[in-house]
Amino acid sequence: MKDYLKKHQKSVVSYCGVALVLALVGLLWLTMGGSGKNKRASTAQSASGSDYYLPDVSDSDGVSADEMKIERVVVTKLLDISESGGDWGGESIVQRTQTFMVRILTGPYKGVEAEMQLDLTDITGTGKSVIIAKEGDRLLGYFVMDYDTYTLYGTCTGFQRDIPLMWLALGFLVLLLLFFGRNGIKSFSALIITCVMLILVMIPLVYHGMDPVLAVAIFGTATIVVTLLMVHGPSVSSLAAGMGAIGGVLTSALIAYILKNVIWITGTADEEAISLLYTDNGRNLDVASIMFAAIVIGSLGGTIDVSVSISSSLEELKDKMGKEITGWELARSGMSIGCDIMGASLNTMILAYVGSSFQLLMLFSAYNISFEEIINNEMIAVELLRALAGCFGLLMSVPITSVTAAFLSSRGNMGTFRLKDVKLIRVISGVGGRLSGAWSRALAEAKKKESMKREQEKPQVNLFEKARQHYDEMQDRENEKGE
């Protein structure tokens, strides 16, 4: 056992560290009451008009939403499509409903044939928001029993999309294993742990009253520690990368926390936020803070990526150069490396946020809305804030990682600090030198022009008159001698 622990010391330390972090997160989850299951929002509180399927099987049959369980079904026979008049938001529209027979695949009614309805109402009027079910399609739905006729009725909630996604994830895992082997499995495991902490820990904590920004700061720190320990193991570069990434995440969190009371963001600019307010605990939720917590989550991956790249590069550089490079020179190299990485990372981050609002921007363009209106629109302001806060976090992770990695790699022996080691000082010095040189050249050019001007202003000498004058003087002298 002792030999095994000695041989796999790094792995044991990594897994023990991950277990400790997960234990602390679990303890926090239990302390905050996160173990309680959230109740399903009642149909009377539903804010979204698209939740049309709930009233069909609950309100009319005296069954609450909490008593219903979603089941998987497969379409066995198509019956008909009916149309009726209706009202949607004050406008008269045609409501269409598709009826078909299904076989239930899960739950207490497994194997039972039932009649199911799918709402085909096209609220856009374009025909692009409706998918008609076909035989063999797999769907999800709620079911209730009509005890007068002993007939099982169901209402469709949507198509099964999880199975294709699971196959896609499995394909990704296989390729990850083929290309990267054990390290690929570690990376995928870290991703799974991150998703579990986000969905099963952080979201319940926020829903039960924990401050969203504080929750995401704790969650982000735990994610960074778990990812670095599992993927890179305990090392100097991992510690430096962790410090840099945590610094970047805390910077984003601080900016989000400060600005939430400065730029008048309500957090209710989209339908999801409004629907959240109609849940059982909606009145106790701060949707603006939840939105800012999402900003920090968006910057998390980028800060980890940048920090790991810088710390690994500096560790390699220190191994190659040894004592020939001082700590401050190493930090300056880290800043140069970070500058190259930042160009691509910032571009990636900004384009990601623009892509998430692409349809909204197209809508603004279609209605010829002015730039002033666009920039002050809450949804656009939120996306810009997401991007800028994330960029600040990404930016701050560079110097923190560089200095920390240099300090740890040099064992505290940073050498003599020189102002030129700071890139800003070098830039300012370079600009100052260029300005000084330009000023000197301008003064020399001005003096030269002034000298030329003086030369031009001097009276022109007539050489013929001067020669004649000299001749006359010579003649006068000759005459004086003759006398």
151-159 vs 91-104, strand pairing mode: unpaired
Res 135: pLDDT: 92
What one-character DSSP code corresponds to residue 45? G
- What integer pLDDT is reported at residue 233 of this predicted model? 78
* Pairing mode of beta strands 113-119, 91-104: antiparallel
Residue that the structure tokens 């829903």 belong to: 207
Q: What is the dihedral of CA 402, 407, 410, 412, to 10 degrees?
A: 170
CA distance 287 to 266: 7
CATH number, domain 43-160? 2.40.50
For residues 387 and 256, what is the distance between their CA atoms, to the nearest angstrom? 11
Alpha helices in 357-422 (DSSP H): 358-366, 371-376, 378-409
Q: Give the other-Cβ count within 10 Å of 386's Cβ.
A: 26
User: Which DSSP helix (H) or strand (E) runs through 187?
Assistant: helix 162-196
Residues 6+ apart with CB under 8 A from 268: 274, 277, 287
pLDDT at 95: 80
Task: Show pLDDT as tens, one digit a residue, over the chain (483 residues).
Answer: 556 555 556 676 777 777 887 788 778 777 766 544 555 554 334 333 333 333 344 343 444 444 567 889 999 999 988 887 665 555 666 788 889 999 999 888 889 888 888 888 776 666 667 788 899 999 998 888 777 777 788 888 889 988 888 999 888 888 888 888 877 888 888 888 888 888 888 888 888 778 887 888 788 888 888 888 887 778 888 888 888 888 888 888 788 777 766 777 777 767 777 777 777 676 777 777 787 777 778 778 778 888 888 888 888 888 887 777 777 778 888 888 888 777 777 777 777 767 777 777 787 778 777 777 777 777 777 777 777 887 888 888 888 888 888 888 877 666 665 555 555 555 555 666 677 777 777 788 877 777 777 766 666 556 666 677 777 777 777 777 766
Tell me if 70 sits within 8 A of 40, measured CB to CB.
no
Quick count: other Cβ atoms within 10 Å of Cβ 464?
7
Rounded to whole angstroms, the Cα distance separating 128 from 431 reads 58
Write the CB contacts of 318 (distance below 8 Å, at least 6 apart in sequence): 325, 330, 409, 410
d(CA 455, CA 304): 69
**CB-based contact 96:125 (threshold 8 Å):** no
Compute how many other C-beta atoms are within 10 angstroms of the C-beta atom of residue 119: 16
Provide the residue ranges of all domains of the chain, joining segments of one domain with +.
Answer: 43-160, 211-421, 431-476
> What is the C-alpha separation between 442 and 435, in angstroms, rounded?
10
- Burial of 471 by CB count in 10 Å (0-12 exposed, 13-18 middle, 19+ buried)? exposed
pTM confidence score:
0.63
Are 413 and 318 within 8 A, CB to CB?
no
User: What would the two tokens of residue 428 be?
Assistant: 């300012």
Task: Measure the CA–CA gap between 321 and 319, rounded to whole angstroms.
Answer: 6
Q: For the stretch 305-342, what's the b/e string if a residue is b when 16 or more beta carbons lie within 10 angstroms of its beta carbon?
A: bbbbbbbbbbbebbeeeeeebbbbbbbbbbbebbeebb
